[in-house]
Amino acid sequence: MKVYKARAPMRIGFFGGGTDVSPYAEEHGGKVLNCTINLFVRCALRPADTPGITIRSLDLAEVSRRVTGRDWDGRLALPQAVLDAVHGDTRMLTAHQHRLADASGVEVLMFSDAPPGSGLGSSSALVVSMLRMLYATYEATADPHTLAELAYQIERVDLGIPGGRQDQYAAAFGGMCVYHFGASRVIVEPVLADPAALLELESSLLLGYIGDRQLLDNHLMQDQVQRLARGDTLRYHDETKAFVDQATRMLRALRIDEFGLLLHDAWEVKKAFSPHISTPYVDEVYALARKHGAWGGKITGAGGGGFMVFACPFERRLELTRVLTEAGVQLRPFSFTTHGVQVWATEETNDAVAVSDPR
């Protein structure tokens, strides 16, 4: 039987986060610098004997089902919305039953390399990977802009999940890029493609999980948008955006130490967006990292928890690794990637798997 699989990378947001959120992006122009990493959200779609569509989240141990003409039975709202957006209960079933296999339904499997609320853009990576997989199922193509915009529509409009656009674009395009967000278009500007330059930056960074993000408890994103709408934080957003151009020049000149020090400056400004962005534990960990040689660092997402990234000199890396581990930070090895979402197909039997149609 034919099985389609896809994976989309998560990202580390370095500078400009928050300026991709409405209404700032439309009114003032947003700008974000991020890079994708080798932590992925992965999904697969295959024919199944169970009627209708079955969604299985392997890491959350959740199942949703839908039979044609009925509502979803289950709590996996995000993948449900993706399938609804592309008419999953009709087009996808037709494609699989008539073209791929003699089956009464289909099954979608998924899991993430990072926990929910990681601040690495895992939700958007899930949406982009599912969309790319479904397009491949229909033997259709979609450029990265189309995928990113449709993913944004599903998350931010259809489901009303607050946030910006950088996660969807990073998952679709991949690599180290500056994303320019305006009222009518998005411009993608690649920053680094030289493997040696990416390796030099990568060797100075540590990525660590500090705990669950309290986004749902304190309505962090809504709080930031409300403060911006009142004009309380407009100047901080402007300062955050200005860091992007500085950081880009430093990367292209391989001034990694200055890049790390700029992370510290940007983190101090970012915390002014909302009192909920940092927590006492985050402040404690960050102060400890700085004491043991870190140039700077930041939370990788909206704030409140998840993953933090730290930049440090090569000779302080082991020392910083030790003290952060002792402080309870779960360090995670990673490397940068230069590609966005990927999809491929396999012919699976009981005895073997044959790969076909790589895209």
Q: How far is CA 315 from CA 183, 258, 260, in A?
A: 45, 16, 14
Nearest Cα to Cα of residue 192 among 174, 205, 167: 174
Domains in the chain, number:
1
pLDDT for 350 equals: 53
What is the share, in percent, of the chain residues with pLDDT greater than 90? 68
Q: What is the 3-state secondary structure of the chain?
A: CEEEEEEEEEEEEEECCCCCCCCHHHHHCEEEEEEEEEEEEEEEEEEECCCEEEEEECCCCEEEEECCCCCCECCCHHHHHHHHHCCHHHHHHHHHHHHHCCCCEEEEEEEECCCCCCCCCHHHHHHHHHHHHHHHHCCCCCCHHHHHHHHHHHHHHHCCCCCCCHHHHHHHHCCEEEEEECCCCEEEEEEECCHHHHHHHHCCEEEEEEECCCHHHHCHHHHHHHHHHCCCCHHHHHHHHHHHHHHHHHHHCCCHHHHHHHHHHHHHHHHHHCCCCCCHHHHHHHHHHHHCCCCEEEECCCCCCEEEEEECCHHHHHHHHHHHHHCCCEECCCCECCCCCEEEEEEECCCCEEEECCC
CATH of the domain at 207: 3.30.230.120
pLDDT for 103 equals: 56
pLDDT for 304 equals: 80
pLDDT band at 42 (very low <50, low <70, confident <90, very high): very high
Joined tokens for residue 223: 């709080």
pLDDT for 213 equals: 59
Q: What is the mean pLDDT of residues 26-40?
A: 96
Any idea which of 75-89, 97-111, 132-146, 221-235 has the lowest mean pLDDT? 97-111
Residue 22 in contact with residue 226, Cβ under 8 Å? no
pLDDT for 141 equals: 83
Q: What is the mean pLDDT of residues 343-349?
A: 87
pLDDT band at 216 (very low <50, low <70, confident <90, very high): very low
Over 70: is that where the pLDDT of 94 sits? no
Please tell me which residue, 181 or 2, carries the higher pLDDT value: 181
pLDDT band at 305 (very low <50, low <70, confident <90, very high): confident
What domain range is 306 assigned to? 2-356
pLDDT for 355 equals: 46
Each residue's pLDDT tens digit, 111-155: 999 988 899 999 999 999 999 999 998 888 889 999 999 999 999
Each residue's pLDDT tens digit, 239-284: 999 999 999 999 999 999 999 999 999 999 999 888 888 889 999 9
Q: How far is CA 211 from CA 11, 49, 115, 131, 198, in A?
A: 18, 39, 10, 29, 27
Please tell me the distance from the alpha carbon of residue 21 to that of residue 4, in angstroms, as a whole number: 33
What is the share, in percent, of the chain residues with pLDDT greater than 70? 89
Any idea which of 68-72, 79-83, 324-328 has the lowest mean pLDDT? 68-72
Mean pLDDT score across all residues of the chain: 88
Each residue's pLDDT tens digit, 106-117: 999 999 999 888
pLDDT for 49 equals: 86
Cβ neighbors of 160 (< 8 A, separation 6 or more) are none
pLDDT for 29 equals: 95
Active site residue 167: yes
Joined tokens for residue 60: 């959350």
Q: Which of 20, 89, 113, 167 is catalytic?
A: 167
| pTM tops 0.85, yes or no | yes
pLDDT band at 35 (very low <50, low <70, confident <90, very high): very high
